[in-house]
Amino acid sequence: MNSISEIQSRNLNPPERSRERRLRIALAAGTGLLFALSFPPIPTGLAAFVALVPLLFLIERLPSWGAVFRFSYLAFLVGNAGTIWWISGWWGEDPWLKLAGVIVNFIHPLLLTPPLVIYFFLRKRLGFISAAVSFPFLWTSWEWLLHLPELSFPWLVLANTQTYDTTNIQFISWTGAFGLSFWIVLINTVFFVSTRQLLHGIWSLRSRRMAAAAVALVLLILLPKIHSAIVLNDPVPAAGQLRVGIIQPNIDPYDKWDEGETPMQKLQQLMHIYDSLAAEDMDVMLLPETAIPFRILQPTYAEEWRWLRTHVDSVGIPLLAGFPHTVWYDDPETAPGSARRIPDSPLRYHDFNSALLMHPAEMIPQIYHKSRLTPLSERIPYLDALPFLQDALTWGVGISNWGLGNDTTVFRLRTEENEEGFWAMICYETLYPSFVAGFAKRGAEAFGVITNDGWFGHSSGPYQLMQYTVLRAVENRRAVARCANNGISCFIDPYGRVRQKTGLYTRTGIMGSIPLIREQTFYTRHGDWFPGGATVIAGFFVLFSIIVRYYRK
């Protein structure tokens, strides 16, 4: 395999240039294909452990950072197309969703290229081995930094490839999911370095360095398995059990917002499954995201609210459901910039994608506002600072431009024995590790998920989002009850093992008991210490390369 200097020094004739270009495209496409084959619903994630190797070999052949950027973009464009092709909702009727999905598929690969470009710079300034050592830190820190801003889409974090193998991932209760990404990239890097050095004749099969690399690979593979085996054989004691009913109504996400039925008819339809499960002894019943597709707490719907409250009172089982919640601001001066205006009125308001918890005989529900919103699909990022874009996002269904919640609400769920902490994340919030851990730290002893994955159709989307929830369970040692409008609903234990999965696009209800755990994991208590540390180390490599360049000059 040729090095950078060798490729640059050669004066290639046209046939050689053509072959070289084809080889470069093949290497980039190879990484893209392996990347796509790493994510659910592919049930192993094994391709992730070598997915970056072709791209790293390709960088050895490239003469400039511009070439690294272009071929890295190509690699991740292929990977994105093979992984989140469904995001545009091609089977639906909403033109904005289609456009937003196309934009994401073309822009998101750009965001994955910087670690490779920085690696190239370090490769030139510090040498091959130093750059290789830095690469897992560069990748992990960049993944972490990308998930922090309001304009973030952490769907393709490498950790998400390993959700099927619970015998490997239990260590993330210490490091969080970004520790899993680091582990994956480290295996890629060790495999690449050892193979590259062998091909160049720098190492031999019998050399000490090759032996050290082989031992490192074996340890990297075995240690997580040994740790997981110990953890799985020594379960965390539960403080009790929560009996949960999950209602999967299978209502078309487009049809539920139309005017074909009255709000009362929609509400009564939802409560049929609630009534069918009510014969069982449940502590709480879950309905999915925006299951109540109208502003039921507004005075306009006072009759529907009274009916629902009376119904829950008569059945006697607490109900947790998704709904749109409107918050009014009397003073336009103190209202957020993104708040909507009422024509010819000082009043302004926000609609929040929300969850409510109703207890029997309780007049006022507990409410949580969704705090992590899908960019472009649910809200224009930084809308408070750019309010003139308010009308740029107009959905064909539902409510456009949801308000951005900042709630820290942990529901207090009263059971026969006690009052328990329970929190229900809403759909996309599943993707944010430290955000979810914050609710466990504030007292959530079990998690719920309410989601509406019907926009994804019969694609890999529902499987991916369901599997990613496994990581949140393991990080915090919290059981999860997942309620999806069109599927997949399920229960996930504190070790990431999935139980009672429902099928897609079926109307059903399931019941199960999940453990309540009060003990907090190291990750729950300390959050993203691992990627924060990786960012410091990555910054050190970059700073050192700048210093080296300065002194060389």
Q: What is the CATH number of the domain that holds 436?
A: 3.60.110.10
141 and 288, same domain (yes or no): no
Q: Does 521 fall in a domain?
A: no
5 falls in which pLDDT band (50, 70, 90)?
A: very low
Q: Does 392 fall in a domain?
A: yes
Q: Does 38 fall in a domain?
A: yes
Q: What are the pLDDT digits (tens) for 114-143? A: 999 999 999 999 999 999 999 999 999 999
268 falls in which pLDDT band (50, 70, 90)?
A: confident
78 and 220, same domain (yes or no): yes
What are the Cα distances from residue 230, in Å, to 227, 238, 492, 532?
Answer: 5, 18, 20, 27
439 and 546, same domain (yes or no): no
The region of weakest confidence among 170-179, 233-242, 298-307 is: 233-242
Largest Cα span, the chain: 84
493 and 348, same domain (yes or no): yes
545 and 401, same domain (yes or no): no
What is the rounded distance in angstroms from the CA atom of residue 235 to the CA atom of residue 541?
40
Q: What are the pLDDT digits (tens) for 160-209? A: 999 999 999 999 999 999 999 999 999 999 999 999 999 999 999 889 99
Q: Does 61 fall in a domain?
A: yes
DSSP readout, 199-266? HTTSS-TTSHHHHHHHHHHHHHHHHHHHHHHHHHTSPPPPSEEEEEEEEE----TTGGGSSSS-HHHH
396 and 416, same domain (yes or no): yes
pLDDT at 218: 96
The length of the chain in residues reads 553
For residue 524, the SS3 value is helix
505 and 535, same domain (yes or no): no
Residue 1: pLDDT over 50: no
Residue 517: pLDDT over 90: yes
Paired residues of 286 in beta bridges: 246, 320
149 and 284, same domain (yes or no): no
203 and 262, same domain (yes or no): no
Amino acid present at 282: M
Q: Does 522 fall in a domain?
A: no
Q: Whose structure tokens read 């929830």?
A: 469
207 and 319, same domain (yes or no): no
- pTM of structure: 0.92
140 and 275, same domain (yes or no): no
Q: Does 523 fall in a domain?
A: no
Q: Does 492 fall in a domain?
A: yes
Q: What are the pLDDT digits (tens) for 443-490? A: 999 999 999 988 788 899 999 999 999 999 999 999 999 999 998 999
Number of domains in the chain: 2
For the chain, what percentages of helix, strand and coil (3-state, to nearest 5) are there? Answer: 50, 15, 35
Q: Does 225 fall in a domain?
A: yes
Mean pLDDT across 375-396: 70
Residue 538: domain span: 4-234+529-552
406 and 268, same domain (yes or no): yes
